[in-house]
Amino acid sequence: MKQLPPEDEDRIDAFTEHLWLHHGSSENTQAAYRSDLRRFCEYLLPKKTPLLDVDELTLQDYLLWRRTQGLSPRSTSRFLSSAKKFFQFAVKQQWLAHDPTAKLKRPKLPQSIPHSLSEADVENLLQAPETDTPIGLRDRTMLEVLYATGLRVTELVRLQYDQVSRQQGLVRVVGKGDKERLVPLGEEALEWLERYLKHGRPALTDKQSPWVFVTKRGSLLTRQAFWYRLRHYAETAGIYAHLSPHTLRHAFATHLLNHGADLRVLQLLLGHSDLSTTQIYTQVARERLQALHAQHHPRG
């Protein structure tokens, strides 16, 4: 990683701190913005151009350079989002008089269908952990809760006792931008959660902590550690499809739609602020309907 001018580092630090203090942005979001801005600053180093001296032409040159490097339109769109937010912040701080990104438009992105799993694959994945061990019981419970609720992985690993109402069978989730939502657990996930809290968690640690899912040392299970466990269980279950940290979240959404869930309800369960974000799943459901029609209709 190249050494940036101290003033550029300071500006980026102030910006990411602002994201956390005023917008409740997650550590992952802050890291993404920081990475985008640092990479831009590294591009500016040979030109000896400080970040606050950037104009629209410099930004356009950088966007063209990104294209010649084979960087995807999606990553370029993310950079522009980072740059726009940074320079808007810079204007508010009176570091700049004008925002150089004001007239720049993000590249149009093709809608990508989230990778999901079949219901049979999910069932095999859920059964992969060995539940006669505390770790296996914990992992089975995490997979069950994830598939039952559609939580983001970060929301799952940071789940606290006071967010779970076992009596009502609900989880109170604090998502992006500190927005709260209530999500039903379902009978199966609730049964596994009761079993884990009674037998699994006490066997893992006797330390007092607010976290539902913990390591053997009683510490918070990290997002990366859970992702490693997920891949391990996918291999155990013989699942070689593309996996991401959101695989079970996508499966949750897709399977709900396939079984007739309303898109607005799905939006609430997933915690999407904009319905357009949820509508990507309708394409998955539409393909399923077309396949069923072709299979069963006399003239399909």
What tokens appear for 231 in the block? 């891949």
In the predicted model, is pLDDT for residue 287 greater than 70? no
DSSP 20: H
In the predicted model, is pLDDT for residue 300 greater than 50? no
Q: What pLDDT, on the 0 to 100 scale, is given for residue 291?
A: 61
* Residue-wise burial string across 260-286, b where 16 or more C-beta atoms lie within 10 A, e elsewhere: ebeeeebbebbbbeeeeebeebeebbe
Contact 182, 172 (CB under 8 A): yes
What tokens appear for 125 in the block? 């994945």
Q: Which of 23, 34, 172, 246 is catalytic?
A: 246
Max CA distance (Å), the chain: 70
Q: What pLDDT, on the 0 to 100 scale, is given for residue 180?
A: 81
Whole-angstrom Cα distance, residue 8 to residue 17?
14
SS3 letters for 45-73? Answer: HHHCCCHHHCCHHHHHHHHHHHHHCCCCH
Work out the angle between the directed axes of helices 56-68 and 73-92 (0-180°, nearest 10).
160
Q: Which of 176, 195, 231, 288 is catalytic?
A: 176
Average pLDDT of the chain is: 84
**Mean local confidence (pLDDT), 40-52:** 93
Are β-strands 164-165 and 180-184 bridged in parallel, bridged antiparallel, or unpaired?
Answer: unpaired
Whole-angstrom Cα distance, residue 157 to residue 170?
17
Contact 245, 153 (CB under 8 A): yes
Q: Which of 66, 140, 181, 272 is catalytic?
A: 272
H or E stretch covering 144: helix 134-149
Q: What pLDDT, on the 0 to 100 scale, is given for residue 270?
A: 73
Lowest-confidence pick of 42-51, 84-93, 116-125, 137-146: 116-125
Whole-angstrom Cα distance, residue 62 to residue 83?
12
**CATH annotation of 6-92:** 1.10.150
Identify the band that residue 274 occupies on the pLDDT scale cut at 50, 70 and 90.
low
Whole-angstrom Cα distance, residue 102 to residue 104?
6
- Domain ranges within the chain, ordered by starting residue: 6-92, 119-295
Q: Which of 152, 201, 229, 255 is catalytic?
A: 152
Contact 100, 56 (CB under 8 A): yes
Say yes or no: domain 119-295 is CATH 1.25.40.90.
no
Residue 293 falls in the annotated catalytic set: no
Q: What pLDDT, on the 0 to 100 scale, is given for residue 77?
A: 87
Q: Which of 66, 223, 249, 250 is catalytic?
A: 249
Contact 123, 74 (CB under 8 A): no
pTM equals 0.59
Residue 246 falls in the annotated catalytic set: yes
Residue 152 falls in the annotated catalytic set: yes
Whole-angstrom Cα distance, residue 179 to residue 171?
14
